[in-house]
Amino acid sequence: MNAYADGDDRALNVVYDALAPRLFGFFLRRARSREVAEDLLQRTFLQIHRHRANFLRGAAVAPWAFAIGRRLFLDHVRDRGTERRRLGERDDDGLEFLTGGSDPEAVASAREEAAHFLKRLELLPENQRIAFELVRIDGLSMAEAADFLGASVSATKVRCHRAYKALGLLDGQLRGEAPENADNGGKADR
């Protein structure tokens, strides 16, 4: 990103490859629409391009890009005049974008599990939910998530830990991983 901010346009390839899948997942999970997610992804990269001169040397790019993406998503929600849709208010679970698996029954069952998990996620206090989403789902490192949240790394860890606890992840109800593994969940792209 530093090279790109200094005017090396070819560096955009690296920035796109590092960020696009994570940002796309970020939008998809919130908007639950592939079309909207692609539109927001495109707009986010246009803003990254137009605001690149303001990117601070040596800073982590993920919190910066996610902050742009989040702002655009909030503007999108406001422009549409709709509140963020909660799972409980939908007829379907909105997870049609999740694909994969060879056994349709296992996929359906696991999709149901994922929907249930997202419902529980929605019930978390906002500061815990956002910290958890950034680290565990969006793949930011603890330091990047802390930068995004404006909190210290230790405070971010505490929020994540409480979210893990509330979601029952500490005793491996959904996955058999130790939550500390999430500390290495993302890489700082500088």
Partner 1 sequence: MSDLNDSRGARGETAKFSVPLPNPALRAALFAKIAAESAPVRPIQRRWDAAIRLGGFLASITIFTIVGGVSVGERPAGYVAAMAIAWGALFVLLSRLLVPPPGAALGPRRATLAAIVVGAPLALTVLVVVGRLLWPATASCDGPNNHSGRCFFYSCLFSAPILLAFIVARGGTVMRDVALHGAAFGAIAGCFGALLITLRCVYAVVPHLLLGHVAPVILLGVVVALLAEPILRFRER
Shortest Å, Cβ 34 to partner 1: 7
Q: Is 170 one of the binding residues for partner 1 (CB under 8 A)? A: no
Q: How many residues bind to partner 1 according to rule CB under 8 A?
A: 75
Q: Is 151 one of the binding residues for partner 1 (CB under 8 A)? A: yes
Q: Among residue numbers 96 through 125, which ones bind partner 1 (CB under 8 A)?
A: 97-101, 103, 105-107, 109-114, 117-118
Q: Is 61 one of the binding residues for partner 1 (CB under 8 A)? A: yes
* Cβ-based burial of 174 (10 A; exposed 0-12, middle 13-18, buried ≥19): middle
| Pair 160, 131: CB distance under 8 Å | yes
Closest to partner 1 by CB, 7 or 88: 7
Q: Is 154 one of the binding residues for partner 1 (CB under 8 A)? A: no
Q: Give dist(CA 178, CA 149) in Å, integer.
A: 23
Shortest Å, Cβ 154 to partner 1: 12
Q: Give dist(CA 136, CA 167) in Å, integer.
A: 12
Q: Give dist(CA 7, CA 15) in Å, integer.
A: 13
Shortest Å, Cβ 141 to partner 1: 11
Q: Is 11 one of the binding residues for partner 1 (CB under 8 A)? A: no
Q: Give dist(CA 178, CA 170) in Å, integer.
A: 7
Where does this chain touch partner 1 (CB under 8 A) — which range of 29-37, 83-91, 123-131? 29-37
Considering only residues 125, 152, 178, 184, which one is a binding residue for partner 1 as defined by CB under 8 A?
A: 152
Considering only residues 30, 31, 32, 45, which one is a binding residue for partner 1 as defined by CB under 8 A?
A: 45
Q: Give dist(CA 40, CA 27) in Å, integer.
A: 7
Q: Give dist(CA 145, CA 137) in Å, integer.
A: 11
